[in-house]
Amino acid sequence: MTKTFLAASLATLLLSGTALADTTLKLTEVITSPARTETLKEIVAKFEAANPGTKVEITSLPWNEAFEKFATMVSAGETPDVMEMPDTWVALYAKNGALESLEPYLAKWQGASDLNERALQFGRQTDGKTAYMLPYGFYLGAMFYNKKLFEQAGVAGPPKTIAEFQQASEKVSKLPGKYGYCLRGGRGGLNDWTVFANAIAGNNTFFKEDGTSTFADPDKVKGIAWYVDYYKKGLAPKDSISWGFNETVAGFYSGTCAMLNQDPDALIAIEEKMKSEDYGVVPLPKGEAGKAFPVIGYAGWSMFANSQNKELSWKLIETLEGKEGNVAWNKRTGALPALKSAEQDPFYATDKFKGWFDELKDPNTVPTSLPSYLEEFAYFKDSMVPTTSQQALLGEISAEDMAKQWAEYLTAAQQKFKSGQQ
């Protein structure tokens, strides 16, 4: 009898071991680079060690193609358990029921008390009360500038106003093969259009009370037209019309252009390619109203509602978002951390982050969130904006026509959103 019991127990253990070994979680990252992926693998390895028998299968999608590729995966039913979720995609997937609410898990997680206020605020942005994503960090634009190019061009110092930015650009662009600004005409370029249009307009409002988009208002059109004219004057590289993140960063560290509006994650490549004394980071230039409106974005971790392993998926998110994982990840991504305790880490106390922290302290610099709560926003940002803005830069449509198209699309989306809130 004892032998039978022992044999049965051994069989049960073997079977459970096999089941555990077969437990595979799928994790998709979409803001990728080799270094980021390597860091993600290191964090995941610690999760696997703490959860014997569980394996995590990582899929890395190149950012320039991620929106379409991931949409195709979802259409084919190939959703991951956990994914790196950009702020502009949350509403698209949350509103069709694809994402799991993280609220029940947050309520039981001891680490939730370490999340800073913005983490929960932005994580719940879709409907104001449900966290469908847990931000790991924040991306805030600031102005990189090349000190050596400024010196060669006779520019006294980094521009504090849009007028000084234009003057500095004109001086640098007189140097052979050099340009003032690393314009981002491809995917992700909406941030630049928004920053300059808002600074020149003197406000960062996206909609009026009735839901009408402000993009077609004269003050915003003025800013958009200024940016189109900037490119047409040759103050940015001609091929920057199709540049994305990697190309703009490379344009800066190669010395092709003297200025770049970017988040802290650009430091990763720039630090490797440039000497620290050859560049600086300062707040974005202000418009005539004395205001600047850097775009603040974020990304985080979401769980898909059809995951067959939700408790394990949450444990993976805990590992990624917990202090050890979050600090390691943000040091690699360059984002400003989502944890209160991480802000005290010596890594963030260095001068290289001063430009961003100066922006956060300046009452006339207003971090601005894009209206990513709109279900239609992901398509707008990653498809419509690159196509129409490139047409405008090439002179195929006017700045006014582009602004009108944007306003019509966003007005319909905002009014639909407002009607759903009633």
Per-residue pLDDT of the chain in tens (422 residues, 90 and over written 9): 444 444 444 444 444 443 445 799 999 999 888 888 999 999 999 999 999 999 999 999 988 889 899 999 999 999 999 999 998 899 889 988 999 999 999 999 999 999 987 788 889 988 889 999 999 998 899 999 999 999 999 999 999 999 999 999 999 999 999 999 999 999 899 999 999 999 999 999 999 999 999 999 999 999 999 999 999 999 999 999 999 999 999 999 999 999 999 998 899 899 999 999 999 999 999 999 999 999 998 899 999 999 999 999 999 999 999 989 998 998 888 888 888 887 778 888 777 888 888 887 788 999 898 998 899 999 999 999 999 999 999 999 999 999 999 999 999 999 999 898 76
Q: What are phi and psi of 303, to 5 degrees?
A: -115, 135
Q: Coil, strand or helix: which one is 91?
A: helix
CATH of domain 2-139+298-353: 3.40.190.10
Q: Side-chain half-sphere of 223: how many Cα atoms within 13 Å?
A: 26
In the chain, list all ranges with CATH 3.40.190.10.
2-139+298-353, 141-296+370-421
Say how far apart CA 184 and CA 222 lie, in whole Å. 19
Report how far apart, in Å, the C-alpha atoms of 256 and of each of 151, 173, 275 are.
15, 10, 16
H/E element, 227: helix 218-232
Mention the CATH class of domain 141-296+370-421: alpha beta
Q: Is 395 exposed, middle or buried (0-12, 13-18, 19+ CB in 10 A)?
A: exposed
pTM: 0.74
Q: What is the DSSP letter of 294?
A: -
Q: Tell whether the torsion through CA atoms of 125, 39, 322 and 264 is positive or negative.
A: negative
